[in-house]
Structure 1
Amino acid sequence: MLHKEQGVTPRPGRNLHVGLATCPTEILEAQKLRYRVFGEEMGARLPSRVPGVDRDLYDAFCDHLIVRDENAGRIVGTYRILSPASAREVGSYYSENEFDLTRLRHLRGRMVEIGRSCIDADYRSGAVITLLWAGLARYMLENNYDYLIGCASISMADGGHAAASLYNRLKDEHLCPLEYRMFPRTPLPLQALRQDLDADTPPLIKGYLRAGAWICGEPAWDPDFNTADLPILLLVSRLDARYAKHFMGNKD
């Protein structure tokens, strides 16, 4: 079990620690943070019926990785983690709502899914995402999981042109081998969109790719979040050596 043992003080007055939520109160606070980011900032249509809370059927089956500012007494970053056993229990990975994962069937016993990544607007300087990555890496190492999947979102505020252009630019260097390909259930209509824009790579996607992750196919359109979602797969065995040293360190 991952405990709140990794920390950093990025600036005076802040004392950040990462770990798994250990009680319903912490999970609720993480869900409220998700609502503020996804619902209020991004305008997503969220499934929860509880005002101010982002919650769906997967939450009860997930581990919730959180970064807390101990001095401020608040959760400032979170990731939702679905283990292989929990995916079997709930009946699917969340990503299967957007992608056909048939080609990953043989990986499911060792494959963890991450999602709902968000950081408080006042803490987006890099320290929180670094701690979240460290927490994820330690979670994978301590539980002997080999594969990490998720959906990396790109805003469609411009109608999807930036997302199509970004995929077109990244696919030649970062597309996975055919045997790991995922197929979108609602594909982004790439041929109807511009693919020649100089679109910036979102920081989270940039981090995945630097760590050694693959893009596993064309983006799906998520109408509830109004995003284009890229399917991501990271093999622990492919984790970039610099990332492995920085985030995993020693198991003990």
Structure 2
Amino acid sequence: MQLDHHHYKQRDNKSITVTLANNNDQIRAAQALRYRVFAEEMQARLNTKEPGIDQDLFDAYCDHLIAQDEQTGEVIGTYRILPPHQARKVGSYYSDTEFDLTRLQHIRSQLVELGRTCVHPQYRNGGTIAMLWAALTQYMLRHNYQYMMGCASVPLSDGGHTAASLYRKMATESMAPIEWRVFPRCPLPMTSFDTKLEIATPALIKGYLRAGAMVCGEPAWDPDFNTADFLMLLPTQCINKRYASHFKR
């Protein structure tokens, strides 16, 4: 399936196009960007088979959404999308490795997973994220999928206090109903942290929440990435109307 090409001109006159990757070269460029961001910038321990390429068993089953600089052709942003029929083929979602998703069993046939999200440092702004979201929304609407989920990661470089404070904030304002609660397989020891820090919500999580997403429970600890991962769930019908009109352009 092809998406409409989404075009965006940034303030510095860089023009961005967002679409689904349609060949292996584009997918490899996205995987190279992922390696640069996750391994080189975030110091994640990736189990790579090939130098400079972030790839795992889920990639072959996913659609790869890519943002490209029109002038250079460089892939500067990506989302990995795992639709439900492909999750059945591979045997699970990536999130199943981090969380017990039993309470989401009844919606799995309509559940799309987003993952491996990253943007090149020079293009990290609201415009790039909005472009990616516009294409994601179009993807969901074309297939009539009802739910998006994804792990939103927060670095543990401060020992975990920021992640714990963020969870306290989201649990108060944006917690999913109990029937959609998930349980981390490797939980953060929340009682060990200062949960009262005044923190700014990270841009990606803020984007999820503004669109109408909920956090489905306590975060999981990902030791390879050294992050706290929050499972976010967004019912398509709940996409905030203010944002839906923007995303659907």
Relative to the length of structure 1, the TM-score reads: 0.97
Q: Secondary structure at the match of 1:134?
A: helix
Which aligned segments of 4 or more residues in structure 1 are displaced greater than 6 angstroms? Answer: none
> Is 2:239 aligned against 1:239?
yes
Identity across matched positions, percent: 54
Task: Show the counterpart of 1:124.
Answer: 124
User: Aligned partners of 2:81, 2:10: CA distance in 1, in Å?
Assistant: 25
Which residue does 2:142 correspond to in 1? Answer: 142
CA distance in 2, matches of 1:3, 1:12: 26
Partner of 2:172: 172
Q: Which residue in 1 is equivalent to 2:41?
A: 41
8 A contact 1:2–1:139 mirrored in 2:
no
2:210 corresponds to which letter in structure 1? R
> What residue identity is the alignment partner of 1:36?
R
Which deviations, in whole Å up to 9, do the C-alpha atoms of 1:2-43 show, x marking residues without a partner? Answer: 335210111354221111000000000000000000000000
Give distance in 2, aligned partners of 1:72 and 1:164. Answer: 40
* Paired amino acid for 1:211: A
SS state at 2:115 partner: strand
Aligned to 1:16: 16
> Does residue 1:56 correspond to 2:67, yes or no?
no
Number of the residue aligned with 2:209: 209
Distance in structure 2 (CA, Å) of the matches to 1:3 and 1:179: 33
Corresponding position: 1:70 with 2:70: yes
Structure 1 vs Structure 2 CA RMSD: 1.0
What corresponds to 2:158 in structure 1? 158
Is this contact kept in 2: 1:2–1:138, CA < 8 A?
no
Question: Structure 1 residue 26 and structure 2 residue 23: aligned?
Answer: no
User: Which residue matches 1:104?
Assistant: 104
Task: Write the distance in 1 (CA, Å) between the matches of 2:66 and 2:179.
Answer: 33
SS in 2 for 1:19: strand
Q: Retained in 1: the 8 A contact 2:3–2:139?
A: no
- Which SS does the other structure have where 1:246 is aligned? helix
Query: What one-letter code is carried by the residue in structure 2 that aligns with 1:6?
Result: H
* Residue of structure 2 in register with 1:185 after alignment: 185
How far off is 1:125 after superposition?
2.2
- The one-character-per-residue Cα deviations of 1:181-208 (angstroms, maximum 9, x if unpaired) are 0100000100011111112210000010
Say if 1:80 and 1:116, in contact at 8 Å, map to a contact too. Answer: yes
Aligned pair in 2 of structure 1 residues 94, 155: CA closer, same or farther (>3 Å)? same
Q: Deviations over 1:207-252 (max 9, x none)?
A: 1001100000000000000000011000011110011111024xxx
Contact 1:99–1:184 (8 Å) recurs in 2: yes
Q: SS in structure 2 opposite 1:131?
A: helix
CA contact (8 A) 1:141 1:248 kept: no
| Residues 61, 172 of structure 1: alpha-carbon distance in 2 compared, 3 angstrom cutoff | same
Rounded Cα–Cα distance in structure 2 between residues aligned with 1:232 and 1:138: 19
**CA 3–238 in structure 1, closer or farther in 2 if over 3 Å, else same:** closer
Structure 2: runs of 5 or more not aligned: none
Residue 152 of structure 1 aligns to a residue whose secondary structure is: strand
Count of aligned pairs:
249
Change (3 A) 1:14 1:197: same
